[in-house]
Structure 1
Amino acid sequence: MNPDSSERVYGEIYSSDVFLEEHERIQGPGNLPNDDLGCRRERVVAALMFSSDATHLADFGNAKAWPIYMMLGNLSKYVRSTPSSGALHHLAYIPSLPDYFDEFVAGFHPSWRSQHPHIKAHCRRELFHNIWREILSDPEFLHAYQYGFVIKCIDGIERRVYPRIFTYSADYPEKVLLATIRDKGLCPCPRCLIPKTAIQDLGTTEDWNIRTTRLRTYHGASVAAARRAIYNNGRPVRGAAVDESLREFSGVPTSNAFVDCLGSQFNPSSMLTVDLLHEIELGVWKSLFTHLVRILHAASTTSEPLVVCLDERYRRIDTFGDGGIRRFSSNSSEMKKMAARDFEDLLQCAIPCFEGLLPEPHNGDIMKLLYCLAEWHALAKLRIHTDTTLKILGELTQEFGVLIRHFRDSTCVAFSTVELPRETAARQRHDAANQSSHPSTSTATSGQRRSKAFTLATVKLHFMGDYVDQIRRFGSTDSYSTQLGEQAHSTIKSLYGLTNKKNPMQQIGAKYSRNRHFRDTERKETQETRRADHIDKHHVVAPYNDCPINLFAFVRENPMDPAKRNFISKLKGHLLGRILGREFDADMHDDFTEDDRNTVRIRNNTIFRHKTICINYTTYDVRRDCSILNPRNRRYCMVAAPESDLEVNSHPFWYAAVLGIFHAEVQHTGPRSLNLGWRKMEFLWVRWLGVEPDYVSGRNVSRLPKIGFVPDSDEFAFSFLDPAHIIRGCHLIPTFSGGRTKTLLNYEGPTEARFAGDMSEDWLNYYVNIFVDRDMFMRYLGLGIGHREGGTTSSSQVHVRESGQEDDHDMERGVIEDEEEEYLTDKEAGAGHDHDDGGSVDDSDDEDHHYDAL
């Protein structure tokens, strides 16, 4: 970001707009109890954040739990997101209707047979709100809510604390319960009164006007009239008399517990937050991915099944990070037993996998759509936002609305799509279950796959337009993500295994309280620090010498290997350049003579190999994280391009594949030596990748950066790298549509340059997966706090070196200062987000392929 400018930062809920507004509100008159009107204590807000989600307790059977969790927003979200912190409290467990409920109601309700679905749904809503009414109507809580309560804080100062409900994280079915509206009614949104017919207008002016001018409020008088019609006049729950009062705003005849207890000024719709996990990853993206698979089935021929090609491409993608990108299942297109994190991985890697499978113009349209959604997803999951990032997110929301409607009207109508095999099987099971429960109704169960069209009539698409406003109000989405509640389910499930399965929720509650007491006691006794070892260092290599390699024996082992060409001479040149304090220039020290290189001595002509190296770096949100590199399956890294190479619209990074990690004891002799002592020096043996010439990437053209291995004819295709220059590891995905080639490494025998499974050919190009995590995305967007601008995603050009041009770049040191003592990794899987109209299929011949060497 520009160091001379200032922007509002959005992250924690305790620095959000809604928190600051409430803090100002409690400072006013009328907020002190009659017995303490002269109180001069500091008044502070306790931000209550709730979450609830029903879950199954076992793989078999119908045992389930419906917990309500509570967090305190005054704690940092980095603490609350750690399950072991104990910051997420079990507030209550919502019971289900008893098993005998149907039999009980059928005994006295004359219209049970015809109205039982509506009656049962109404009773579930009543039960849910009565549980909340029991919680919120506690006299002590209501007194504290109105007048605050005095707490002696850890600093010894007494403060008057006012609990306030800020957020409630839930999926759509529970949002419907909380907002007391009809599921999928005429106005299905729990936050505004948009009609169902206008949901598809995401990003339009009309859509924005509805969100801002027709906010949902609680209509207590209408609800009361509907309840009188039911309970006093015996009208059906979904009868005309009840519908007349509630239909306009899709209400239900259930009195809202939050309004009843906290007053009519409390709007339950305002506490309902967005839900990336269910709305986007398991909603919009899953729906889009499913229909893309249907299109591939429709476009396939008998001899060329495109879905098989898609599955093969996903299987070839390497894993990345600690759960960042996991190994894809054998058939990703079948979507068997996939969690939200799996769909997130599918989105982050979708562009190379779908590229070129369909003809133009559909291929180009899909590439634009996938890039826009991946970019939107990455921005929406940022852990720190600024005014600039929110502006971009708003623009992307509008763009995605245009692209998804164009996809529906152009690409989808060009293919005759039908149900997927799993959809047909699911429909048949559903029809069979209906027929068994209602024998009088005849349902024709057909094994034929029915036509299936793509639809935008889903409220989850509409929710995408709420993210910018919600982030401005409550802070970044990770603070109130439903993923926190999903993670907490593991505790309940583990405790369920310790019960006797009879009345399990009572036993789970007792065991949870006992475990919490023990955890608090243990924490007080141990006071363990959470600081990671060596986090202040830029990189860490294990201090072992258990894998020595004799230099001359290593070179003689396979002397024809192009990767070992001038291995010892290059190594000494690299070490000499570092000893003399030269800025890195890809080891192109043309002024070094052979005598100069011979002034570098390596003790016993032995280097020591290591399996891994840990690169520590500062993330975009000013945290510390690390990348683990190894030459087997996490080999790719990125370094900062030198200032001399950062021309206008140039590419900001260089890329390398790590072939080996070494250290050696080195001595410098000769007239320029300042120290004759032996020193330990660490170095990486790398194969460089260069930017594809004449290829344009970035947001303007919706294309990922494309790179490829430098041909072995280049003298410095293989060289050595100081680990201090590495920024972090990166994720590269082959450009599957471009295929493989032998011209980049013209050698048929075994070589250190290729990896298992690629011993005869290289991929012609790779895409840099800028969406692999949020830190990587922000490095290319160039808006990380305290970071140098990246900018490839916002530029339309990249810098390439002409064929045969001297490469005299100087590389700055990539050491990143330690700005935080705490160490928390970004696993966003999550977590968590580039092509033109003509696609990005490279039509150049292998023989004419050249790269910018660095």
Structure 2
Amino acid sequence: MSWQYSGSVTKSTTELQCLVNDVLLDPRFEKDDLLGFNASREKHRLDGYRTTSGAFSANNGWHELEVELHLPKERIMHDSEASTESFFVHGIWARSLTEVVKTAFQDIISHKYHWFPHQLFRRLSPLAPLEQMYTDVYNSDAMLEEHNEIQKMTRHPDDPPDLEYAVCALTVYSDSTHLAQFGTASLWPIHVLVANLSKYFRLKPTMFAAHHLAYVPTLPPAFFEWYKDLYGAPPSPAVIRLLKYDLMQKIWLELLDPQFMHTYVHGILVDCGDGVLRRLFPRIFLYSVDYPEKCLVACLKFLAKCACPECLIEKTDFDEMGTETDLQNCVVKRRVDSNVLHAAVAKAREWIFNLGRTPEGCNVKATVLNKVSITPTRSAFSIRFAKFKKNVYNLFVPDLMHEFELGVWKSTFTHLIRVLIAAGQDGVQMLDERFSRVRTFGRGVIRPFGGNISGMKKLAARDFEQILICSMPVFEGLLREPYNTIILDLIFQLACWHAYAKLMLHTEPTLGAFEATTVSLGKAMRRFVSKVCPAFHTKELLRETQSHQRRKAASLPKTAGQHATTSEDDSAAKVKTFNINTIKYHRMADYTCMIRRTGTSDNSNTQTGELEHRRLKSFYKRTNKNRSFGHQVATEVRRQAILDRISRGIPASSKRHKTQNRQTSTRLGRRDLRVRFEEQQPLSDTPLTDHHHMSIEQRYPENILDFMQTNTGDPACTDFLRDLKGHLLLRLRGGATIPADHEPTDADLACVRICANQLYRQKVLRVNYTTYNMRRSQDSINPQTHPDIMMVAPEGSTHPYLYARVIGLLHVNAYLAGDDLSGAEDTEPRAVQVLWVRWFDVDTRAPGIKSRRLPRLKWASTDDTPFGFIAPRQVLRTAQLIPAFNHGQSDTALPGPSIARQDDEDDIDWIDHYVGIFVDRDMFMHYCGDGVGHQNTTNNEAARPHANMDLNDELDPDILPQVDTEADAIVVDDTSADADVPDDYENLSSDVDGDMEDDSGTGSGSEHDNEGEWSTDDEDNLGPEDGENECLLSDEYEYAHMSYAPL
């Protein structure tokens, strides 16, 4: 313990526990091995750990680059660009891209690579047509086209006929990040990921699949001094912008060096980690960056007339997103990297450097560059790949995190707050209160909302995502009609679009629904702008006023700033209108084309890079924080990579099952059957093949008669024993032989015996299920924290699911008594696990999904059967139920105090609840249909594909992209419940210029770096409802814990 409190203050209790469990208690640990240990010497040896080839080749190390920038000056002529004065930018730490490719494919993980692309299809019935499925880069049309081109190439004369030619699929990510909470230290990394590896591995931070390629500097302060000394005046803003573009392009030209381009054309022989020699041809499919960096890499003018990196639609027409004209223009007006643009760039640079013209002057503006919003700098990707007929603009796919979650939705939510403020009364206060009452859900999917959501302080992308998921019940009724209806329609469409955009597996029907949703969303957004926005005089929020005041103060000269005072006009909030003529809104129509071309959006989402920033921030803490910290961070990255690969080659020690001090509950007079948080009941690992897992320990016994006597008068306990015995009768005799509507007689119930009249309280029920994308995942149910569940409804029901709230998790030892009083005919006692539940009824009066509303539930009436027992195997999943705040509270459904209510409900119920169908991807697919893995989750036609999604909008099929199915494919036949799983399936247990949004990504300081595995020892095997492992992002958990499941 004293070690923890010595030296660094960052040694947490978790780290101390890891030191004990993973090092000191490891059977392989030998104290004698540390005799003479010197940390500095060992790190030096680690840095020198290089071989002539393989994953740790010396050629794979980091080296420093420098690039030369030629400096133009207005009205100063030169003979040529090469003859102008130049400035060398140093401190560019980089690795050889060719060596990165070799390292990635020599790694032992390469045995999980997909060497040959393929397409996935499914068939719903023997006579139904094939439906293509889209999920990863290696089954995308883009990679299949590259593969076919390579196979048609003339083979290298020295290659044997059986040598495999394979595509090395690369995706690139880059973004600048702040390394410290205070100060200006920052790093601009470029990461490369190998898309031959499944995204369920590739996107996990703990897999270290992101290869750090380079750390990009900005223009250093010395440059400005050099320029001023050279020309006698500081560089103009136009020159600075030009040189920033030049710097990025010259860095990329160094990375795409002649060695890489030779490899691109002729391939490279690599002895891959699976022991097979192959010739690899690297191809870059995606470049994931936020919008400012898209402009920088693609050499586009920032927020200019033609602001889109993929098309030439003008910014004034961005508000027409989703219309037929817009969808046609997205195809007709595609950007093309043509020779005309190359010649125009060369001519413009000749004017700038040779004739001393202004980079953004009239001469340059008169060229075609200004018409298409291109800068007088040619992209490095165009220079390298245009001769191979590659269009550089196809690399820059939409970015869901920055463009929607931190873009369209954030700006929409912000304006909704402005509208509530303009409407007066207490709408904002009610909104904050309602959000604070929304329960958490799952493993970090919905986290606790603070008490000031409207303030939007330090919210990350995941926070805005969960705000969207829960917004409909919160906003309901805060404004008068017709504005309430319009806003709820808009939020529903935004949530529906977001759910489709985040699907990790798409089919042709879901893409068709996605396209229809995009059209409907465009209409809903324009209706909001035309009907709601003009009705309210909206002004800036306080934080927006303070932000523009700070920007204005920073823009003043220092001498003027010392005497400047804030005028009354500056301190007053300005009128703020809602703007949808933004690039982020416009790009919402591009997602379906991207998915068909390169796979689902998670392949290109910049969230992956934002998570990688955590490593950089942790490494920065280990540097001396001087100007050379970039090299030190690079060194730490390499050290960790070497140690990770070494550790994967060493057999892991056998797992140790930790023991817990068992505690018996000492609480007397217990009123309910819930196991409290402070009471211990760890579960062992749950096999993925099992449907559920609940303890059968007898640690927390409860006498049934005493329990009923203690709760006399509680409606929940009136028929407790009779209902329990009725349920046990079905279970003990076999439910298949007894009709579901059978009413047991007193004689039937009399033969059900419960040993010692004891029941045993349990804490957590884990439920495994197959997700829509054919993987296995897990929910955890705890009556104390996450009690709501859903089940498949009986055949013929009008709604596909039943809903209930779990009051208690129990097991009893029960048997059936025979007629012989001696007990000779009695059955053997057996442990029977049951869930005591309070039922919901679906409110058939509610509009429902067909009317763009969430399904609404009401409590089962006391005149019906409000309470009952079910078997754990009946549970399909946990459900997110959000109170219908606008409908108020009442105790009509359950008069008086009752143990059936949660501790925080004050003996009163919310009258209605809404089903959170958008809470995660799998839940959404249960309601919209077409979930490939949801074959046996419903017997109702009501849950068939899009039966409930009445979007009232149809797209003209003539303007939709056509899909080529003339390719090799893997067919998943949905007609068989035992369809084979393909062999390649793995098993794994700040506002800028108004339009741009804060791109802080996943936020700093709000998340942890630790990511769990399916079967872990460091959680005591507690479910998330026990308060454990709530730190993971929902996406991180999905990548960490899901495994492929047979259909």
TM-score scaled by length of structure 1: 0.90
- Pairing partner for 2:284 from 165, 170, 173: 165
- Name the residue aligned to 1:701: 851
Structure 2 Cα separation of the partners of residues 392 and 770 of structure 1: 16
Relative to structure 1, the CA distance from residue 425 to residue 584 in structure 2 (aligned partners, 3 Å threshold; closer, same or farther) is: farther
Q: CA deviation at 1:794?
A: 3.8
CA offsets, 1:129-173, max 9 Å, x none?
111111101x33222110112223344432221110111111101
Relative to structure 1, the CA distance from residue 254 to residue 675 in structure 2 (aligned partners, 3 Å threshold; closer, same or farther) is: farther
- Name the residue aligned to 2:357: 235
- Pairing partner for 2:918 from 771, 775, 793: 771
- Name the residue aligned to 1:288: 412
- Name the residue aligned to 2:756: 604
Give the alignment of 1:374-385 within 5 angstroms: 374-385=495-506
Give the alignment of 1:345-356 within 5 angstroms: 345-356=466-477
- Name the residue aligned to 2:456: 335
Structure 1 Cα separation of the partners of residues 780 and 931 of structure 2: 22
CA offsets, 1:216-265, max 9 Å, x none?
12321111111111111111121122222320111111121112223432
CA offsets, 1:178-218, max 9 Å, x none?
21110011100011111111111101122122211111123
- Name the residue aligned to 1:513: 638
Q: Between Structure 1 and Structure 2, how many residues are aligned?
A: 799
- Name the residue aligned to 1:145: 264
Q: Is the 8 A contact 2:805 2:839 kept in 1?
A: yes
Q: Is the 8 A contact 1:774 1:831 kept in 2?
A: no
- Name the residue aligned to 1:666: 814
Structure 2 Cα separation of the partners of residues 342 and 409 of structure 1: 28
Q: Which runs of 5+ in 1 are unaligned?
A: 799-814, 833-854
SS at 1:36 equivalent? coil
Q: Is the 8 A contact 2:775 2:933 kept in 1?
A: no
Structure 1 Cα separation of the partners of residues 209 and 715 of structure 2: 56
Structure 2 Cα separation of the partners of residues 65 and 666 of structure 1: 64
Structure 1 Cα separation of the partners of residues 379 and 652 of structure 2: 43
Relative to structure 1, the CA distance from residue 736 to residue 674 in structure 2 (aligned partners, 3 Å threshold; closer, same or farther) is: farther
- Pairing partner for 2:586 from 462, 476, 485: 462
Relative to structure 1, the CA distance from residue 629 to residue 262 in structure 2 (aligned partners, 3 Å threshold; closer, same or farther) is: same
Q: CA deviation at 1:694?
A: 2.5
Give the alignment of 1:371-410 within 5 angstroms: 371-410=492-531
- Pairing partner for 2:295 from 176, 179, 182: 176
Give the alignment of 1:416-815 within 5 angstroms: 416-437=537-558, 439=560, 444=567, 446-502=570-626, 503-526=628-651, 533-583=686-736, 589-590=742-743, 592-643=744-795, 645-646=796-797, 650-670=798-818, 676-698=827-849, 700-714=850-864, 716-747=865-896, 749=897, 751-788=898-935, 791=942, 794-795=946-947
Relative to structure 1, the CA distance from residue 818 to residue 735 in structure 2 (aligned partners, 3 Å threshold; closer, same or farther) is: farther
Relative to structure 1, the CA distance from residue 29 to residue 326 in structure 2 (aligned partners, 3 Å threshold; closer, same or farther) is: same
Structure 1 Cα separation of the partners of residues 146 and 479 of structure 2: 53
CA offsets, 1:637-674, max 9 Å, x none?
0000012x34xxx2000001000001111112226999
Give the alignment of 1:3-402 within 5 angstroms: 3-4=125-126, 5=128, 6-30=130-154, 32-33=155-156, 36=158, 40-109=162-231, 112=234, 116-137=236-257, 139-218=258-337, 219-245=341-367, 246-264=369-387, 265-300=389-424, 304-402=425-523
Relative to structure 1, the CA distance from residue 178 to residue 225 in structure 2 (aligned partners, 3 Å threshold; closer, same or farther) is: same
Q: CA deviation at 1:585?
A: 9.7
Q: Is the 8 A contact 2:880 2:916 kept in 1?
A: yes
SS at 1:145 equivalent? helix
Larger displacement relative to structure 2 (563-572 or 382-391): 563-572
Structure 2 Cα separation of the partners of residues 372 and 543 of structure 1: 45
Relative to structure 1, the CA distance from residue 730 to residue 49 in structure 2 (aligned partners, 3 Å threshold; closer, same or farther) is: same
SS at 1:605 equivalent? strand
Q: Is the 8 A contact 2:928 2:949 kept in 1?
A: no
SS at 2:624 equivalent? coil
Q: Is the 8 A contact 2:856 2:914 kept in 1?
A: yes
Identity score, percent: 39
CA offsets, 1:414-438, max 9 Å, x none?
1111111111111111222222448
Structure 1 Cα separation of the partners of residues 347 and 737 of structure 2: 78
Structure 2 Cα separation of the partners of residues 703 and 13 of structure 1: 35
Structure 2 Cα separation of the partners of residues 22 and 452 of structure 1: 48
CA offsets, 1:352-374, max 9 Å, x none?
11111111111111111110110
SS at 2:221 equivalent? coil
Structure 2 Cα separation of the partners of residues 589 and 337 of structure 1: 57
Relative to structure 1, the CA distance from residue 776 to residue 816 in structure 2 (aligned partners, 3 Å threshold; closer, same or farther) is: farther
Relative to structure 1, the CA distance from residue 575 to residue 207 in structure 2 (aligned partners, 3 Å threshold; closer, same or farther) is: same
Relative to structure 1, the CA distance from residue 529 to residue 118 in structure 2 (aligned partners, 3 Å threshold; closer, same or farther) is: farther
Amino acid at match of 1:17: D
Structure 2 Cα separation of the partners of residues 342 and 545 of structure 1: 40
Q: Is the 8 A contact 2:804 2:837 kept in 1?
A: yes
Q: Which runs of 5+ in 2 are unaligned?
A: 1-122, 656-683, 951-976, 990-1012, 1015-1029, 1038-1047
SS at 1:291 equivalent? helix
Structure 2 Cα separation of the partners of residues 8 and 831 of structure 1: 27
Q: CA deviation at 1:44?
A: 1.2
TM-score scaled by length of structure 2: 0.73
Larger displacement relative to structure 2 (580-589 or 115-124): 580-589
Q: Is the 8 A contact 2:928 2:948 kept in 1?
A: no
SS at 2:285 equivalent? strand
CA offsets, 1:280-317, max 9 Å, x none?
000000011011100000001xxx32100111111110
Amino acid at match of 1:609: R
Structure 2 Cα separation of the partners of residues 584 and 526 of structure 1: 51
CA offsets, 1:308-355, max 9 Å, x none?
011111111000000111111211111000000000011001111111
Structure 1 Cα separation of the partners of residues 407 and 552 of structure 2: 24
Q: CA deviation at 1:477?
A: 0.7
Q: CA deviation at 1:596?
A: 1.2
Q: CA deviation at 1:127?
A: 1.4
- Name the residue aligned to 1:850: none
Q: Is the 8 A contact 1:570 1:587 kept in 2?
A: no
Q: Is the 8 A contact 1:51 1:485 kept in 2?
A: yes
Q: Is the 8 A contact 1:51 1:68 kept in 2?
A: yes
Structure 2 Cα separation of the partners of residues 527 and 128 of structure 1: 44
Amino acid at match of 1:709: W
Structure 2 Cα separation of the partners of residues 729 and 168 of structure 1: 37
SS at 2:805 equivalent? strand
Q: CA deviation at 1:110?
A: 5.4
